[in-house]
Amino acid sequence: MTSFRASAAFTRDWRHFDFHVADNIGTITFGRPEKLGALTFEAYADLRDLLAELPHRGDVRVLVITGSGRGFCSGGDVEEIIGALRTMATGALLEFTRMTGAVVRALRDIHLPVIAAVNGIAAGAGAVIALAADLRVLARSASLAFLFTHVGLAGADMGSAYLLPRLVGLGRATELLLLGERIDAETALRIGLATSVVDDGALAEAAAALAQRLATGPFMAYATTKALLTRELDMDLSAALETEAITQALLMHSEDFAEFHRARAEGRKPQWSGR
């Protein structure tokens, strides 16, 4: 836990999804399986607030996001969100769209590796949440769809037009965001949208194994790698080289770097402390 704490306590009860921590792995599980994990206004707000708290807790080194039942997350609830949006004034609509964007910004800015374990459909906002993760493990029956144009909105939503071209290229991203067609797991793997595809029954185990590998590894190395990948997207080469040089020089004073040297000399595996 950070030593710089204010008066507010950490939230103990997240009402709009399940969140638990075990062995330094935090897991968010979207509920409402009867609605394929559809999000409400309150669920978006809880996601935003949990992601703001996680960097200060100290007990989470990896975050896994998954769904329950047949769906990862089918996006915003049609009845509870889309209908209500039609009655809102522009200022309230902007507050909502900025909140959904804050979720994606937090997923990219947080120092934790984020794994999306996609079971079933990830559509609309659900597809963007998976896109904003660092690694995406898909069940073989899973699919993704950026459906925004299907409801008369821009295909560019929640940062999708920024993130997707950088992952799959501009041409493919244009196709996926304009047409909003379903992408099956094997296609997602082929175009670079999925990290791996596993049998449906093996999804939880595969995601847990990957999360455990990251949770027991050199945490500072992972955190800085993610930070540089995110920030260097908009840097020129000279700025990127200088940023990487400064980062490596600092990490060469880390306990983990010293532990690697000791472990190599002693013929054993490093015991990473994340410091």
Q: Beta strand 114-118 with 71-73: parallel, antiparallel or unpaired? A: unpaired
Q: Calculate ∠ Cα 114-64-30, nearest 5°.
A: 125
Q: pTM to 2 decimals?
A: 0.93
pLDDT tens column, 68-111: 988 999 988 888 888 888 899 999 999 999 999 999 999 999 99
Domains observed in the chain: 18-215 (3.90.226.10), 219-266 (no CATH)
pLDDT for 164 equals 97
pLDDT tens column, 29-43: 998 888 888 999 999
State the Cα–Cα distance between residues 261 and 267, nearest whole angstrom.
10
Please answer whether residues 130 and 144 qualify as being in contact, where contact means their C-beta atoms are separated by less than 8 angstroms.
Answer: yes
Q: How confident is the model at residue 2 (pLDDT cuts 50, 70, 90)?
A: low
pLDDT for 275 equals 87
Would you say residue 155 has pLDDT above 90? yes
Torsion of CA 225, 144, 177, 34, to 10 degrees: -120
pLDDT for 264 equals 92
Would you say residue 274 has pLDDT above 90? no
pLDDT tens column, 169-196: 999 999 999 999 999 999 999 999 999 9
